[in-house]
């Protein structure tokens, strides 16, 4: 999984490398960057929670001057490419700082930063119009999941995708700007920086994605056939694929009202040995106008100031999302590193994988039986549905990864037709001429805020399954064992990013990244 950038330096300037001087410079640089990042993260919290961008605008200049400083990046590159034998921790800090600054140097460019902020403001304010009423994204998702009337589902799907028409051009413009900024640093384009930041090798990633698709093709065909049978349809459209068992959804909504979700989450974590009430954690859980409709963890100043933003609603899906974000929060609250570059997991895929481990707590039969008092028949139905949802999620992520790669390869070309070609190939459903004009791909917020990131969610699925398998081998279950939480904190979180991702995986799961545990989770026996 780990790769390093080995581009030739942009200049012949060489800095004298004296160990004490390097350590002092690194310490001072990281301290300054952390201070600026902390202020910007707090400002972004205000933007996402209240829809107010004034604080982001106020902090922009300091962010651009620090993270966009070419001389700082060039100095880090010099150290990164140096043959000097540094202490292991110093070498690791240099490597991570090079990744961070390469990415953030691009993000901090004034035109890029401004375009992102404008798009985020638009996303945050957007409320879809359906039958002359405003709906949040989660409300539309519930209609798609449970509405038996096909015409209403279609209307909800179209309302939900309306934002894509507004975001399409900004995403393409951002790709052009990001590529230009990346090439100015000596990279082939921004995608190279994205994979560098993720610690992923392009060829290995493509092989893994191809292997995953091939290994799940047969099971996915079964899922599609079951959906056709459930709906009594010969041909499925995009709004049909979201529809789930309405009776089961209503049952789960009754058992998991939004007023009880937070209590369930805290109790579940406590039974794993993690007491969230004793942590310095800020939570914003209520949906309201002007607030982002998505869910995020903001590690403002880990491990001291960590915040979670979510929009809790009735049902299991909302509960799963909250568990995921709290997984991120537990990681940020328990890191034991002093340096900015080390206060995270080795890469984003591992962070997302750990968060998914907590999210999939909601899939565990023991949890469903104990927390929701469900019988074995209902639990079996939920598990069948969850396997199908994970497979569907994988197929969509494969599409998003391919579309984003195409965008960065040729941002002047509209990828909408390519998206629908992939939809037919990977989802396996026919489209129509009218549908093929809809730029559905442009409603993916990550293309605006977190470019070259979606592949991390694919790898995260593998990490979550692999980590779960190791915990089950050691403790028998991931839920209801008070020793599991402390084990996760000690093995996965406390060390931060001190290890490479491969070293981390071997330490935490006993092996390098593989797909076998994931396949065992999603393929029904």
pLDDT digits (tens, 9 = 90+) for 112-143: 999 999 999 998 889 999 998 999 988 999 89
Residue 32 pLDDT grade (very low, low, confident, very high; cuts 50, 70, 90) = very high
What does the pLDDT look like over 371-387, one tens digit per residue?
999 999 999 999 999 99
pTM for this predicted structure: 0.91
17 band by pLDDT with thresholds 50, 70 and 90: low
How confident is the model over 420-444, as a mean pLDDT? 96
Mean pLDDT of 11-38: 82
Q: Contact, 73 vs 41, CB < 8 A?
A: no
The token pair at 61 is 């200049």
Q: Are 430 and 241 in contact (CB under 8 A)?
A: no
CA dist., res. 328 & res. 299, Å (int): 9
- Looking at residue 20, its pLDDT comes to 86
Contact in structure between 320 and 310 (CB atoms under 8 Å): no
- Tell me phi and psi for residue 300, to 5 degrees: -60, -50
pLDDT in tens, 453-506: 999 999 999 999 999 999 999 999 998 999 999 999 999 999 999 999 999 999
pLDDT at 524: 66
Q: Look at residue 523 and tell me whether its pLDDT is greater than 80.
A: yes
C-alpha dihedral sign at 514, 298, 336, 483: negative
Q: Give residue-wise pLDDT tens across range 2-16.
A: 444 444 344 444 444
Three-state DSSP at 150 gives helix
**What's residue 525's pLDDT?**
53
Token code pair at residue 275: 């007491």
Ramachandran region of residue 273, left (φ > 0), alpha (ψ -120 to 50) or beta?
left
| Residue range 171-192, pLDDT digits in tens | 999 999 999 999 999 999 999 9
pLDDT at 339 over 70: yes
- Whether 354 has a pLDDT exceeding 60, the answer reads yes
Q: Measured between alpha carbons, how far is 32 from 28 in angstroms, rounded to an integer?
A: 6
Q: Supply the pLDDT for residue 13.
A: 45
CA distances from 26 to 33, 78, 91, 371 (A): 10, 13, 11, 48
Q: Is 162 exposed, middle or buried (0-12, 13-18, 19+ CB in 10 A)?
A: middle
- Half-sphere exposure (CA, 13 Å, Cβ side) for 369? 10
Q: What CATH fold (topology level) applies to the domain 209-522?
A: 1.10.1370
Mean pLDDT of 141-165: 95
| Segment 146-162 mean pLDDT | 96
**Conformational region of residue 217, where left means phi above 0, alpha means psi within -120 to 50, and beta covers everything else:** alpha
CB 415 within 8 A of CB 441: yes
Q: Where are the alpha helices (DSSP H) in 11-149?
A: 19-50, 54-67, 70-81, 88-107, 110-125, 137-146
pLDDT of residue 269: 97
Beta bridge partners of residue 466, listed in sequence order: none
For 227, 386, 465, 468, the CA distances from 521, given in Å and listed in that order, are 20, 10, 7, 10
Confidence of residue 405 (pLDDT cuts 50, 70, 90): very high
* 309 sits in which H/E element: strand 305-309
Above pLDDT 90, what percent of the chain?
86
CB atoms under 10 Å from CB of 58, counted, come to: 12
**Full DSSP string of 408-428:** HH-TTS--HHHHHHHIIIII-
Beta partners for 129?
134
Lowest mean pLDDT among 14-18, 305-309, 359-363, 391-395: 14-18
Closest to 97 in 3D by CA, of 114, 117, 75, 112: 75
Weakest mean pLDDT among 1-5, 220-224, 318-322: 1-5
Residues 6+ apart with CB under 8 A from 132: none
């Amino acid at each position: 999984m780990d790769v390093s950038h080995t581009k030739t330096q942009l200049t012949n300037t060489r800095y004298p490398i004296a160990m004490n001087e390097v350590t002092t410079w690194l310490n001072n640089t990281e301290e300054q960057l952390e201070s600026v990042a902390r202020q910007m993260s707090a400002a972004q919290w205000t933007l996402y929670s209240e829809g107010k961008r004034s604080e982001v605008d106020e902090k922009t200049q300091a962010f651009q001057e620090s993270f966009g400083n070419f001389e700082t990046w060039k100095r880090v590159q010099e150290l990164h490419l140096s043959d000097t034998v540094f202490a292991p921790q110093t070498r690791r800090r240099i490597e991570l700082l090079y990744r961070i600054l390469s990415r953030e140097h691009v993000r901090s460019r004034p035109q890029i930063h401004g375009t992102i902020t404008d798009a985020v403001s638009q996303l945050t304010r957007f409320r879809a119009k359906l039958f002359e009423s405003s709906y949040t994204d989660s409300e539309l998702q519930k209609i798609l999941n449970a509405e038996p009337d096909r015409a209403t589902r279609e209307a909800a799907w179209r309302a939900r995708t309306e934002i894509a028409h507004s975001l399409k051009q900004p995403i393409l413009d951002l790709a052009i700007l990001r590529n230009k900024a990346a090439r100015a640093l000596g990279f082939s384009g921004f995608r190279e920086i994205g994979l560098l930041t993720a610690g992923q090798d392009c060829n290995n990633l493509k092989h893994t994605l191809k292997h995953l698709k091939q290994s799940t093709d047969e099971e996915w065909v079964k899922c599609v056939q079951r959906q056709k049978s459930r709906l009594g349809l010969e041909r499925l459209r995009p709004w049909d694929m979201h529809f789930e068992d309405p009776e089961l959804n209503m049952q789960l909504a009754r058992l998991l009202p939004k007023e009880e979700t937070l209590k369930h989450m805290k109790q579940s974590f406590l039974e794993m040995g993690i007491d969230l009430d004793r942590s310095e954690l800020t939570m914003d859980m209520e949906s309201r106008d002007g607030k982002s409709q998505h869910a995020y963890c903001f590690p403002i100043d880990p491990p001291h100031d960590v915040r979670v933003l979510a929009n809790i609603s009735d049902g299991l899906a909302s509960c799963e999302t909250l568990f995921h974000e709290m997984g991120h929060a537990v990681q940020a609250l328990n890191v034991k590193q002093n340096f900015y570059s080390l206060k995270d997991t080795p890469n984003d895929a591992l962070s997302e994988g750990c968060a998914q481990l907590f999210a999939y707590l909601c899939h565990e039969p023991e949890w469903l039986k104990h927390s929701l008092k469900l019988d074995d028949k209902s639990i079996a139905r939920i598990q069948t549905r969850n396997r199908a949802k994970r497979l569907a999620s994988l197929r969509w992520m494969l599409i998003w990864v391919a579309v984003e790669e195409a965008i960065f390869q040729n941002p002047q070309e509209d990828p909408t037709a390519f998206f629908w070609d992939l939809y037919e190939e990977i989802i396996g459903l026919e489209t129509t001429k009218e549908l093929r004009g809809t730029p559905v791909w442009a409603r993916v917020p990550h293309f605006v805020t977190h470019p070259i990131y979606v592949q991390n969610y694919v790898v995260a699925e593998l990490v979550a399954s692999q980590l779960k398998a190791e915990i089950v081998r050691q403790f028998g279950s991931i839920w209801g064992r008070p020793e599991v939480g402390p084990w996760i904190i000690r093995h996965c979180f406390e060390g931060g990013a001190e290890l490479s991702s491969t070293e981390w995986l071997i330490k935490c799961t006993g092996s390098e990244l593989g797909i076998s545990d994931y396949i065992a989770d999603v393929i029904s026996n």
